[in-house]
Structure 1
């Protein structure tokens, strides 16, 4: 597994955030193993995204940290202290759910103030704090509205304000944007990141959306079958995936058959060094991202262009090799115009180490 890249806390206020540690965390539901020895550290004041397919254990880890779920083995520590046995309302964590979970009979202001009310905060103080938080999330004029009078994005802002009301040292976000449309999702993504940086709260953000994770997080932890595959800064995760699973889950990858060679692997008429460890046996494939595939018009080329998808400044071409392998290539749209479907092309990769996996 990969070690994380050096990280600078997002703001000077991040020191107020807590450290979070998962140590050998295990949880099973009957015959289904949700967490299988999860080891992960979250640094003070950072936003760490838990990314992975459905069933990988990311939400289970979040709920165990929040105190809503128990674990079978292992340990969860906040600021170096175990939290097992501490009830959820005493864990100094705020949680925002996918479904908003607002009280329909309370106004926006009263929803935000609810936690403070349960803690016995005086009416004047909690209402002043709730109004302050509504201003923080950009909804001061909606204080008297009920949830059914708010849009989905506005409800999620209220839910975020409620989670912040008790000044938690850890903020937990469980796919809070998945129920929203694309434009609102983008706006709230930026808003959550701004608030997190401003407040310096250690934040765990669960998502299955790779774009969301890469655009928001200081680091991204990719989970698979209850285990950590890699935890790294977004740029490192994308450019240097530690495993084939990470490579294919984060971004688009093509697989090209290759052969073992003295100095690496041979494909497309050239030999390339290997990034990482070469599988000990079996047939092999190289994993390559579309932007790293070079196509040039060539009537005798080894690839035939079979499709093109216009993406603005870039066009994604699909090229088929003689053995039927299909390879994606991102070219500047102007250059792609010289390679219409049906044309032949020379295909090469950059002269640098390649990621190799067993052939499927």
Structure 2
């Protein structure tokens, strides 16, 4: 049984962090706090600055302004090898000439830890990640998932205050990725280590993280618990980046909007001018079979208990709706339907021109 102990968890703060590469701004005044012991996912499209933020925290990248603090102390002037952060990369980065146990113990050897102590520590960590029987194997004798577990154990060997994960699952196949993300989450909670997880995969972020920080063009759009981020996105960008959203043209009606023949209050701020769209998730769309309905079913995707239907409105707008599969059977391709939204405030955005 492993005797690896739980850590206290550090507080990490990005304060006004800025970084540019020539004319490209990677980080534009990032302000973000990671609470002790939480797993925070940095989510966003390629080029949004999430990996740059992680590399600055690790000491592998410099910054142009702002600061990074760990437990209240600025660390940006401290060399990478003294920052007490463990990092796991997408590419595993194991030493091919070392066995699994020696890969895990490598950092301890560089620190001058005695042979017996580092061997015992490495064996504990191999047990923690479920690979004690693979101690004598070399990287080429391990699967991708096993190699990534070894890389994770190596990152934990020095008992870092912060664990940094840079898209560690993206090179793995779907089944292994699912298993390993559950394993990483279990270990993170068991050890209580503050963890930053960079990913462009929204499913990974929502399923693993305590909170998710969505970045866009070097700025923080929203940071919230997964359920809040999904149900109450702060901006149209977050709404469309996290999960699936349909846009339905709407008309202004006082301080609300009229959409599909009904008036709705607005969740948030109504744009000051211009035409607007309502943003709606598939599970919030209601479809009812109707011979003369305004919506026509043009596609269906079976998802198990739910079937996702795509319908087209008279103006060419397409809307996705998730229905129980038994109900969706009454709406075949080419069938017509009435479409309605729940009677609650809706999120709106400027209509694309």
Note whether the superposition's TM-score is higher than 0.5: yes
CA deviations 1:61-87 (Å, max 9, x no partner) are 000000011100000000000001101
Q: Deviations over 1:164-219 (max 9, x none)?
A: 00001100000000000000000100000000000000000000000000000000
Provide the secondary structure at the position in 2 that maps to 1:238: helix
Q: Corresponding residue for 1:277?
A: 269
How has the CA–CA distance of structure 1 residues 311 and 62 changed in structure 2, closer, same or farther, with 3 Å as cutoff? same
Q: Which runs of 4+ in 1 moved over 3 A?
A: none
Q: Does the CA-based 8 Å contact 1:113-1:126 persist in structure 2?
A: yes
Would you say 1:27 and 2:19 are equivalent positions?
A: yes
Offset at residue 161 of structure 1 (A): 0.1
Match of 2:121 in 1: 129
Identify the match of residue 78 of structure 2 among 82, 86, 89. 86
Q: CA deviation at 1:89?
A: 1.1
Question: Which consecutive residues of structure 1, in runs of 5 or more, have no partner in the other structure?
Answer: 1-12
Residue 218 (str. 1) matches residue 210 (str. 2): yes
TM-score, structure 2 normalization: 0.98
SS of aligned partner of 1:188: helix
2:144 match: 152
Check if 1:204 corresponds to 2:186: no
Matches within 5 A, 1:1-360: 16-360=8-352
Contact map agreement 1:36 1:225 (CA 8 A) in 2: yes
User: Is the contact made by 2:285 and 2:342 (CA closer than 8 Å) also made in structure 1?
Assistant: yes
Task: Check the 8 A contact 1:14/1:202 in 2, yes or no.
Answer: no
Distance in 1 separating the partners of 2:323 and 2:336: 15
Partners of 1:114 and 1:159 in 2: CA distance: 11
Q: What SS does structure 2 have at the residue aligned with 1:155?
A: helix
Once the two structures are TM-superposed, the CA of residue 327 in structure 1 deviates from its matched residue by: 0.3
Residue 263 of structure 1: how far off its partner (Å): 4.5
Paired residue secondary structure (1:65):
helix
Secondary structure, counterpart of 1:16 in structure 2:
coil
- How large is the Cα RMSD of the aligned pairs? 0.9
The 3-state SS of whatever aligns with 2:273 is coil
CA shift, 1:15, in A, is 6.9
**Cα displacement string for residues 246-275 of structure 1 (whole angstroms, at most 9, x for unaligned residues):** 000000000000000024100101000000
Counterparts of 1:84 and 1:312, CA distance in 2: 49
Q: Secondary structure at the match of 1:84?
A: coil
Count, aligned residues = 348
Q: TM-score, structure 1 length as denominator? A: 0.96
Q: 1:10 — aligned with what?
A: none
